[in-house]
């Protein structure tokens, strides 16, 4: 009887974890670049009542419940929504943007491309983390990307000012000057992973754990790459990737999880009633 109580309690705990995951998915249905998660369950240890033997006897076991094996993030593509904002960037396909905290120097990756240009002309997240990529027209130096009229080509007027800019599908930033000159100012680069499940959610649409997730170039020397290379997707400027949460699927999972929770609670009630009957037999 105690075994059924233990199994049911483990079921309640596991399905509580699962409903927590579902609740978080639903809460983030409108979060830019959010990736939904699923809870994976596995059976717990089993108590062996009889072992199999050479004479043909089969093993006999009673399971002792269930456990949460893992919470798996689903890195499927979210819908891309045009916004018309030049600094909004969406990734179509695999890959992540890399951003750096200018205060601590820590680097993170993100799928949320709702960037903006700050007072110092850096391309940044809403928290001021600077987007990483090539910072020079020669596309050789990786660092904090700026969108300005720096590193002017020798053929342009030294006093020319920036009048426009655009970002293409490879992340290249083309700046237009007041003298009519256009030149490539830099390029937004991306990171890809062989095991994205190794990433750790840090909040604010950021992921850490870059080395553990198998980045391009290896854990010791992670290397950023251009869009459309190394299995990366392309960049769509003036658009954002929406959450990949499927509400209809989440509601279906929620109903199933609720029923499973109720069933396990019923097992506890029934086991308790049977134990009470046993106690009463002694009187």
Contact 123, 107 (CB under 8 A): no
Phi/psi for 206 (5° steps) reads -105, 150
Interstrand relation of 182-188 and 80-82 (parallel, antiparallel or unpaired):
unpaired
Backbone angles phi, psi at 278, to 5 degrees: -65, -40
Tokens in use for 109? Answer: 């990756």
Q: Are 205 and 32 in contact (CB under 8 A)?
A: yes
Q: Which range has the worst mean pLDDT, 212-221, 246-255, 272-281?
A: 272-281
**d(C-alpha 227, C-alpha 186), whole Å:** 13
Which string of DSSP letters, residue by residue, matches 120-182?
A: TSBEE-TT-PEEEEE-STTS--EEE-B-SS-S--TTS-TT--EEEEEE-TT-EEEEEETTS-E
pLDDT at 56 over 70: no
**Cβ atoms < 10 Å from Cβ of 48:** 11
- Higher confidence at residue 272 or residue 223? 223
Task: Please report the DSSP string for 14-72 in residue order.
Answer: HHHHHHHHHHHHHHTTTSTT---EEEEEEE--EEEEE---TTSPPPEEEE--EEEEEEE
* CA-closest candidate to residue 133, choices 176, 160, 100: 100
Q: At what angle do helices 247-281 and 2-27 cross, to 10 degrees?
A: 160
196, 213 contact by CB (below 8 A): yes
Q: Could you read off the pLDDT of 154-209 as tens digits, one per residue?
A: 889 999 999 999 999 999 999 999 999 999 999 999 999 999 999 999 999 999 99
- Phi and psi, residue 165, nearest 5°: -155, 160
pLDDT at 274: 87
Q: Kindly indicate the confidence band of residue 47, based on its pLDDT and cuts at 50, 70 and 90.
A: low
The upper half-sphere exposure of residue 279, i.e. CA atoms within 13 Å in the direction of its Cβ, equals 7
Residue with the larger pLDDT of the pair 5 and 128:
128
Each residue's pLDDT tens digit, 106-121? 999 999 999 999 999 9
Percent of the chain with pLDDT over 90: 83
Is the per-residue pLDDT at 50 higher than 80? no
Continuous segment of H or E residues that includes residue 183: strand 182-188
Q: 2-32 pLDDT, tens per residue?
A: 788 889 999 999 999 999 999 999 999 999 9
Confidence bin at 86 (pLDDT 50/70/90): very high
Residue 127 DSSP SS3:
coil
* pTM of structure: 0.89
């Amino acid at each position: 009887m105690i075994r059924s109580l233990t199994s049911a309690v483990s079921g309640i705990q596991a399905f509580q974890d699962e409903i927590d995951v579902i609740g978080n998915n639903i809460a983030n249905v409108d979060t830019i670049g959010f990736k939904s998660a699923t809870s994976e369950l596995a059976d717990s240890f089993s108590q062996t009542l009889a072992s199999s033997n050479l004479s043909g006897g089969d093993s006999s076991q009673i399971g002792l419940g269930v456990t949460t094996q893992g919470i798996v993030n689903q890195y499927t593509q979210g819908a891309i929504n045009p916004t018309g904002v030049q600094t909004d960037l969406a990734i179509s396909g695999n890959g992540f943007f890399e951003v750096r905290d200018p205060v601590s120097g820590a680097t993170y990756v993100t799928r949320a491309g709702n960037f903006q240009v700050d007072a110092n002309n850096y391309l940044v997240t809403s928290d001021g983390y600077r987007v990483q990529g090539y910072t020079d027209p020669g596309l050789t130096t990786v660092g904090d990307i700026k969108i300005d009229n720096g590193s002017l080509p020798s053929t342009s007027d030294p006093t020319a000012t920036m009048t426009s800019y655009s970002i293409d599908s490879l992340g290249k930033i083309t700046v237009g000057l007041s003298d009519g000159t256009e030149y490539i100012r830099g390029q937004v680069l991306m990171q890809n992973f062989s095991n994205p499940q190794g990433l750790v959610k840090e909040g604010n649409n950021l992921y850490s754990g870059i080395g553990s997730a198998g980045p391009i170039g290896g854990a010791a020397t992670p290397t950023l790459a251009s869009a459309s290379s190394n299995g990366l997707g392309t960049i769509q400027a003036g658009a954002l990737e929406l959450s990949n949460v499927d509400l209809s699927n989440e509601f279906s999972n929620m109903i199933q999880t609720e029923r499973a929770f109720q069933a396990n609670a019923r097992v506890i009630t029934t086991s308790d009633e049977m134990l009470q009957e046993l106690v009463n037999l002694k009187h």
